[in-house]
Structure 1
Amino acid sequence: MIVFDLKCGTGHVFEAWFGSSAAYEAQRAARQVECPLCGDAEVAKAVMAPAVSGKGNRVADAPTPARMKAMMTMLASKQAELLASSRWVGGAFADRARAMHLGDEAPEPIHGQASLAEARALVEDGVAVLPLPLPVTPPDTIN
């Protein structure tokens, strides 16, 4: 198997696996390779960084379970701090974020829920949004 970074005609870069370079070329020629984001079948290989493996004796660089736990605790703490200083808007998140971006509403820190399609549309429209790294329980479901 071989992995290629591919780029569609609209500029989306994505990764795809093929049995060989010949298999990629045959599928591309038959227009069987499409961009998973927009469905464009005009794809070509994107520039890829070479896969250079490091020395096998670099185990000391790997995070220990204790370090991973400390990092996750810090991340959860920071996320909780940010959520405490923002307002839950639930499923209205995409509409509210877009309204603030367009100046129809006063800007304020908010968090809520958006579908993948809504989040992509916000990003494409230049709205500054980020997914939260850890799951959030909506306030109306907490006992």
Structure 2
Amino acid sequence: MIALIQRTTKAHILVDKETIAEISQGIVALICMENTDIETHFEKMLHKLLNYRIFEDQEGKMNLSLNNINGGLLLVPQFTLAANTSKGLRPSFSNVCSPDIAKEKFSKFCALALQKFPHTRHGHFGANMQVTLTNDGPVTFWLKV
């Protein structure tokens, strides 16, 4: 399971020109499900997302987590994060789950996140989404479990 996270001051997702999800200060997490992912990975990744210290404290140091600031979490399904780009000029997606399995895994992950963190919003798996965000910093991290 891979997450590319960005600290943001605001973000939203449009589908067919309609806003389906939005947050103010928080984290936008592009989420990729891989073939080997199991539900224990969901717990580990969610723990990282909620507790990773990427927000500044009063001294300007990254010591605060999403839980600490009570910010928003915007989950965006993003299968291209698992692309193998080591050869040629076209990515390979051999490590990515089939769409049906990835959709099921992403749905389970979103349900878990909503259960544990009510400020969670998410995109629609398989939809053509326009994701707009203001990256604060910019601060971006690649997480893997």
For this structure pair, what is the TM-score category when the shorter chain's length is used for normalisation? under 0.3
Higher helix share: 1
Q: Output the TM-score relative to the length of structure 1.
A: 0.26
Higher RCO (CA-CA < 8 Å; seq separation 6+): 2
